[in-house]
């Protein structure tokens, strides 16, 4: 790892640690992925995720995302006649969506930057998608568009018939949608999997419940994850019910830990926390961007995967645990050959 004076940790990801196959294709249960546990005291433990319960205590609140992944990638033809992909990201209203259009180059997709207002793209059964305006302006790299999704039939069935899970590489080997669901998947809406929850199995959750760990569900529907360096997340729809708010607030009042499963869970609870760390029930979109200068009000820990160099989520990790903690953890992960990306290994950060 190269150490610099930047506010964000700097590292190069070795190619052999990127994009492992799903556990189903590696002949292993989901909770057999590796687990790195790091603490603010500088301690580090290397384990397997099936032992995750050993690092939590009775009374800890585990915040989990119940969003389920939906088929959000559709084959299209670009104006130049070449194949492309249209990714539905975030629903803004009955007909308006944030979408991303990507070109296909070989076996991967790349950002397509030739979109113009008023362009239309045809999908099966006379469904059209019309570009209305860019969501971000010139100072942003991500080409998200506000688009009109003109569909006059039942959407869930249509997406099941014609959509596929979003993939950016290895397009010739699509995985079934079930590979992109977690144990908690219940409320349809995520364009991409809230992947930090993928390792949980029923047997592991039974151990957590028997130990006295409290499960607190939230819902945050993730959009496309193709953010590049220095790109801020966009609005995403979320819900926190009154019971979850009560569970979290009681834990904070009693000095018990709140551990978020995934950056989506942290974004949700921090979005609705007041200065005293009290969470309120909420339904709507959040545009909270957690920078490294953000003062965490609720979360005491985070279970997450390993993030790309310069990814905006690294700011969130550093906000929770500090620059030195995350820098040291990522150096240890690289030296120990942990896998990155959504099907990879997991990192428990205890601040």
Q: Which domains does the chain have, with CATH numbers?
A: 15-69+177-350 (3.40.1780.10), 73-162 (2.40.10)
d(CA 134, CA 154): 27
Task: Please write the tens of the pLDDT for every residue from 155-188.
Answer: 889 999 999 999 988 888 889 999 999 999 999 9
Binning pLDDT at 50, 70 and 90, where does residue 5 land? very low
Question: Is the pLDDT confidence value at 20 over 60?
Answer: yes
Instruction: Give me the DSSP letters along 104-165.
Output: EETTEEEE-----TT-EEEETTTEEEEEEEESS-TT----EEEEEEE--S-HHHHHHHH-B-
State pLDDT tens for residues 74-112.
999 999 999 999 999 999 998 899 999 999 999 899 989
**What whole-number distance in Å separates Cα of residue 236 and Cα of residue 68?**
14
Question: In this structure, are strands 127-134 and 144-150 parallel, antiparallel, or unpaired?
Answer: antiparallel
Q: Give pTM, 2 decimals.
A: 0.93
What number of other Cβ atoms are within 10 A of residue 107's Cβ? Answer: 11
16: Cβ contacts below 8 Å, ≥ 6 apart: 337
Q: How confident is residue 311, by pLDDT bands cut at 50, 70 and 90?
A: confident
More confident residue, 4 or 230: 230
Contact indicator for 341, 305 with CB cutoff of 8 Å: yes
CA angle 167/113/237 to nearest 5° reads: 55
Strand blocks (E) in the chain: 34-39, 44-48, 61-65, 67-69, 73-77, 83-91, 96-105, 108-111, 120-123, 127-134, 144-150, 187-190, 214-220, 236-240, 258-261, 282-286, 301-304, 346-350
What is the token pair recorded at 29? 């249960």
**253 CB neighbour count, 10 Å cutoff:** 11
What is the pLDDT, as a whole number, of residue 152? 80
* Cα distance between residue 168 and residue 164, in whole Å: 12
């Amino acid at each position: 790892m190269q150490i610099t004076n930047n506010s964000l940790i700097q590292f190069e990801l070795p190619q052999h640690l990127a994009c492992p196959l799903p556990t189903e294709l590696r002949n292993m249960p989901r909770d057999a992925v590796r687990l790195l546990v790091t603490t603010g005291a500088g301690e580090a433990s290397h384990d397997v995720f099936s032992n995750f319960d050993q690092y939590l205590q009775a009374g800890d609140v585990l915040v989990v995302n119940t969003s389920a992944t939906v088929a959000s990638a559709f084959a299209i033809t670009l104006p130049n006649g070449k194949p492309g992909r249209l990714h539905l990201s975030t629903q803004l209203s009955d007909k308006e969506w944030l979408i991303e259009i990507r070109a296909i180059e070989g076996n991967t997709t790349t950002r397509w930057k030739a979109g113009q207002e008023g362009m239309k793209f045809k999908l099966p059964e006379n469904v059209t998608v019309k570009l209305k305006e860019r969501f971000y302006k010139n100072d942003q790299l991500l080409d998200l568009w506000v688009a009109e999704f003109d569909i006059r039939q039942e959407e869930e069935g249509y997406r099941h018939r014609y959509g596929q899970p979003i993939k950016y590489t290895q397009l010739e080997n699509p995985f079934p949608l079930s590979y992109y669901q977690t144990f908690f998947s219940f409320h349809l809406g995520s364009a991409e999997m809230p992947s930090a929850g993928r390792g949980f199995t029923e047997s592991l959750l039974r151990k957590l419940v028997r130990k006295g760990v409290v499960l607190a569900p939230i819902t945050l529907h993730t959009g496309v994850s193709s953010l590049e360096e220095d790109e801020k997340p966009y609005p995403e729809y979320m819900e926190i019910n009154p019971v979850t708010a009560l569970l979290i607030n009681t834990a904070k009042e009693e000095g018990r830990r709140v551990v978020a499963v995934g950056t989506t869970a942290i974004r949700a609870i921090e979005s609705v926390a007041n200065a005293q760390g009290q969470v309120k029930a909420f339904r709507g979109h959040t545009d909270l961007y957690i920078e490294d200068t953000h003062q965490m009000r609720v979360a005491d820990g985070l279970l997450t995967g390993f993030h790309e160099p310069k990814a905006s989520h690294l700011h969130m990790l550093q906000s929770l645990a500090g620059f030195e903690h995350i820098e040291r953890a990522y150096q240890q992960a690289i030296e120990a050959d942990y896998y990155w990306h959504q099907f990879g290994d997991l990192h428990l950060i205890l601040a």
